[in-house]
């Protein structure tokens, strides 16, 4: 764990340069707006350890899978997000000395990510040759008010006289991916042009043919007077406005104001992208950089009005909460159904920018509770768009009759994960897709989605499970062999409890969906059953499997076994692991990890979270107390589920401990891998732990419930949620819950066991003891 970033409720602050942690800071202070994003790289050249990263949503490359062996059904490629045009690049040489913070003497340094305004600022004072000093001030954003726009203001204050400075403002498409298998270059240059104020460049991805076009408008001021470029360097992979300033006196200031427009094929035709005209849209021409920053600032103000979560009593956690919400909202905004949520968002190359089951299992609740339901529906419909590819994927593995296996990793519906134990065995991902449909319909009341694609997906997934199990004569039950559960520190196990339990849940819910279609959407069902070659006998099979599934369990106890044979392991608590072996995946052989009892992330507990309404508190507590001591939380998705369950069990020490790890995972680099990028999808788990766990906000049997518990040091928890077109602002203190119904319709809710009618456009205060002074 690294704690070099300062605590502030609305900012992430690095108040001196930490080159050994530079990659972490680049990831943590990344910017984005749902369409494109950028790591917090320095604008000027930096020869130290750095990962240059500019990423554009939906742009990827199908990199050939690099393995020494092959198996039937193995994916042919691994999709990877591509590093794209570096729009913020500047190159500065002063008196023949290049400005490079790895080589210059740094006298003062501060880098700040302003979460409230979505702005990255940096200020540093450098000492150059002959003990001459200058200060760099940089401010940039990726606009929330215009999703094609990026802004940069870059200034140099000169504290001594200098003879000469060369300054280049660059659009740089000469970029590489650090994770390329064979040191490939993934972009083919198309054109580059420039005039006195404008530059434009376009490149096209190899294989996939995606065209990305960047246009920049540069204004350079020296002592408040505009200076035109001395030359325009147009190269195949870059365009630079080059300026030379001579006889610089102490007290002088140079300022670059740069507007950049990024266009991609998701939103423009090929003809538009190949337009070589050096011109920005009139709106961007007419507005100054200051005005565009202000519009961006106002957009974030509106976003925070709806999404802010206030936690009083712990600034460290407050910073972590807002950081996670900030990263989620600048990664995905529910505006485009073709896009999804990559585990690293726009913060790094790891995981290829692809879609995982994380979206349905972790991210959906955050967006479902905070966004308009029609927007959230795009996340659900994303998987329906990929249903045919999921059926094709299952067919490659030998499944038939329209069975679907959704990919573990995907950009376009095809499986592109390159580890066999995940690709072939981590099939529980299918359950997350079905559960997301249930979650969406249960919360929004939009049962019509069953007839709009939901049932078709549910049936295809149920058919997969029905073919994946087999009958065991020995157990006289159905079993599921050769799987990997959520705990990826176990591979090729038999009867993973989570996978078996969620499979039968899927079969039951698909049966309910078919019944609903027959009764309420008969005409749509008639059309669908013909399309999918339906036979009612499938319902009998599904019920038989559900009734006779094997669930491993400790005999005479209410503890579910993670898989068959789990008790054969030596059960040594994780707190006895030597410090030098943590994290396990970086220090132990895979052989030792697989034979150990240690759990990477919630497995049985993941199922008890999802199906928490079907199990009593004693069962959840017994399993929590059995598995938590064995869990190392080396998946970012783990601590949030443990925090949520611990909060509902009123174990405040555990709940707060895991919550802190979850919400500060990247800021404090708990897992020693933040340098690769932030854990975006797990950040949604922070919201789950806080709102579903501590606030006790839930929906059960169609009724909204809030049953909060606050740790002793917390004095207030406040947040907003949306439920079926009603917006609620909830304010929790130690002895009361205050709920403001911001809508024109009344709403019913339970606070603890009290039934409350919330009048429209009215604030209701309910006495409720939320403070937990000690563990119970």
Tell me which residues are annotated as active site.
488
| C-beta atoms surrounding 526 within 10 Å | 12
Instruction: Report the side by side order of strands in the sheet with 754-758.
Output: 698-700, 703-706, 747-751, 754-758
Q: Across the chain, which distance is largest between two alpha carbons, in Å? A: 90
3-class secondary structure, 634? coil
Backbone angles phi and psi of 592, in degrees to 5: -65, -40
| Rounded Cα gap, residues 338 and 355, in angstroms | 11
What are the distances in angstroms from CA 409 to CA 59, 337, 354, 413, 422?
Answer: 15, 17, 6, 9, 9
Packing angle, helices 454-468 and 522-531, rounded to 10: 50
For residues 90-118, b (16+ Cβ closer than 10 Å) or e, as one string? Answer: bbbbbeebebbbeebeeeebebbbbbbbb
CB 82 within 8 A of CB 186: yes
Q: 215: which residues sit within 8 A by CB, 6+ positions away? A: 198, 199, 200, 260, 261, 263, 278, 279, 280
Quick check: helix, strand or coil at residue 641? helix
Residue (of 87, 436, 447, 23) closest to 238 by Cα position: 87
Instruction: Give how far Cα 125 sits from Cα of 15, 235, 268, 674, Å.
Output: 12, 32, 42, 27
Provide the token pair at 242.
């080059």
Residues ≥6 apart with Cβ < 8 Å to 297 = 117, 118, 119
Alpha carbon distance 414, 393 (integer Å):
7
Alpha carbons within 13 angstroms on the beta-carbon side of residue 585 total 14
Are 106 and 133 in contact by the 8 Å Cβ rule? The answer is no
C-alpha 35/C-alpha 331 separation (Å) is 8
Q: SS3 string of 84-152? A: CCECCCEEEEECCEECCCCCCEEEEEEEEEECCCCEEEEEEEEECHHHCEEEEEEEEEECCCCCCEEEE
Under 8 Å between Cβ of 280 and 215:
yes
How many whole angstroms separate alpha carbon 627 and alpha carbon 485?
A: 14
Q: Where are the alpha helices (DSSP H) in 347-453?
A: 358, 364-370, 373-385, 387-396, 420-423, 429-444
């Amino acid at each position: 764990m690294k704690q070099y970033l300062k605590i502030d409720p609305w900012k992430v602050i690095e108040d001196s340069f930490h080159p050994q942690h530079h990659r972490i800071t680049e990831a943590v202070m990344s910017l984005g707006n749902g369409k494109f994003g950028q790591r917090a790289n320095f604008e000027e050249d930096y020869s130290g350890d750095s990962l240059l990263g500019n990423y554009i949503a939906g742009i990827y490359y199908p990199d050939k899978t690099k393995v020494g062996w092959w198996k039937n059904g193995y994916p042919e490629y691994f999709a990877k997000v591509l590093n794209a045009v570096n729009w913020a690049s500047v190159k500065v040489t002063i008196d023949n000395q290049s400005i490079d913070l790895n080589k210059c003497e740094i006298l003062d340094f501060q880098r700040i990510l302003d979460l409230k305004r979505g702005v990255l600022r940096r200020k540093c004072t450098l000492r150059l040759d002959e003990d001459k000093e200058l200060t760099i001030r940089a401010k940039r954003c990726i606009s929330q008010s215009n999703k094609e726009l990026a802004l940069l203001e870059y200034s140099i204050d000169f504290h001594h006289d200098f003879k000469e400075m060369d300054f280049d403002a660059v659009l740089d498409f000469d970029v590489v991916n650090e994770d390329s298998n064979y040191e490939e270059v993934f972009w083919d240059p198309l054109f580059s042009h420039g005039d006195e104020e404008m530059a434009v460049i376009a490149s096209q991805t190899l294989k996939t043919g995606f065209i990305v076009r960047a246009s920049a408008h540069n204004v350079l001021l020296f002592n408040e007077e505009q200076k035109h470029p001395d030359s325009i360097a147009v190269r195949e992979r870059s365009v630079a406005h080059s300026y030379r300033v001579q006889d610089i006196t102490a007290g002088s200031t140079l300022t670059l104001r740069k507007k950049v427009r990024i266009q991609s094929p998701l939103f423009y035709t090929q003809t538009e992208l190949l337009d070589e005209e050096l011109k920005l849209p009139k709106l961007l021409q007419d507005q100054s950089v200051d005005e565009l920053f202000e519009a961006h600032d106002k957009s974030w103000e509106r976003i925070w009005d709806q999404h802010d979560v206030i936690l009083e009593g712990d600034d460290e956690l407050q910073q972590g909460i807002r950081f996670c919400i900030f990263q989620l909202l600048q990664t995905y905004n529910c505006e485009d159904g073709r896009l999804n949520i990559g585990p690293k968002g726009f913060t790094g190359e790891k995981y290829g920018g692809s879609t995982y089951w994380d979206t349905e299992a972790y991210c959906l609740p955050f967006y479902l509770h905070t966004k308009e339901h029609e927007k959230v529906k795009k996340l659900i419909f994303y998987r329906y768009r990929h249903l045919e590819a999921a059926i094709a994927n299952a067919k490659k593995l030998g499944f038939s009759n329209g069975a679907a296996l959704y990919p573990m990793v995907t950009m376009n519906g095809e499986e592109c994960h390159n580890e066999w134990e995940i690709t072939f065995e981590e099939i529980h991902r299918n359950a997350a897709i079905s559960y997301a449909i249930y979650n969406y319909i249960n919360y929004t009341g939009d049962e019509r989605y069953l007839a709009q694609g939901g049932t078709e997906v549910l049936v295809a997934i149920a058919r997969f499970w029905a073919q994946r199990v087999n009958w065991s004569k020995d157990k006289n039950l159905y079993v599921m062999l050769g799987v990997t559960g959520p705990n990826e520190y176990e591979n090729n196990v038999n009867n993973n409890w989570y996978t078996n339990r969620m499979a039968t849940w899927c079969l039951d819910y698909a049966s309910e969906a078919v019944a609903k279609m027959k009764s309420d959407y008969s005409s749509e069902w008639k059309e669908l059953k013909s399309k999918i070659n339906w036979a009612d006998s499938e319902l009998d099979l599904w019920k038989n499997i559900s009734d006779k599934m094997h669930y491993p369990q400790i005999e005479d106890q209410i503890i579910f076994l993670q898989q068959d044979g789990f008790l054969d392991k030596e059960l040594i608590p994780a707190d006895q692991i030597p410090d030098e072996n943590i994290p396990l995946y970086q220090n132990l052989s895979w052989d030792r990890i697989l034979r150990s009892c240690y759990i990477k992330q919630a497995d049985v507990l993941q199922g008890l979270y999802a199906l928490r309404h079907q199990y009593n508190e004693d069962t959840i507590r017994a399993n929590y107390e059995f598995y938590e001591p064995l869990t190392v939380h080396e998946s970012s998705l783990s601590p949030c589920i443990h925090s949520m369950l611990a909060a509902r069990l009123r174990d405040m020490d555990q709940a707060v401990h895991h919550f802190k790890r979850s919400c500060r995972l990247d800021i404090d680099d708990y897992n020693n891998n933040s340098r690769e990028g932030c854990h975006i999808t797990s950040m949604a788990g922070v919201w789950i732990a806080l709102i579903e766990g501590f606030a006790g906000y839930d929906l059960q049997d169609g009724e909204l419930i809030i049953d909060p518990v606050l740790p002793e040091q917390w004095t207030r928890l406040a947040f907003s949620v949306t439920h079926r077109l009603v917006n609620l602002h909830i304010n929790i203190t130690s002895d009361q819950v205050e709920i403001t119904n911001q809508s024109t319709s009344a709403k019913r809710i339970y606070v603890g066991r009290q039934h409350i009618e919330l009048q429209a456009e009215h604030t209701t205060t309910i006495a409720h003891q939320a403070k937990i002074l000690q563990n119970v």
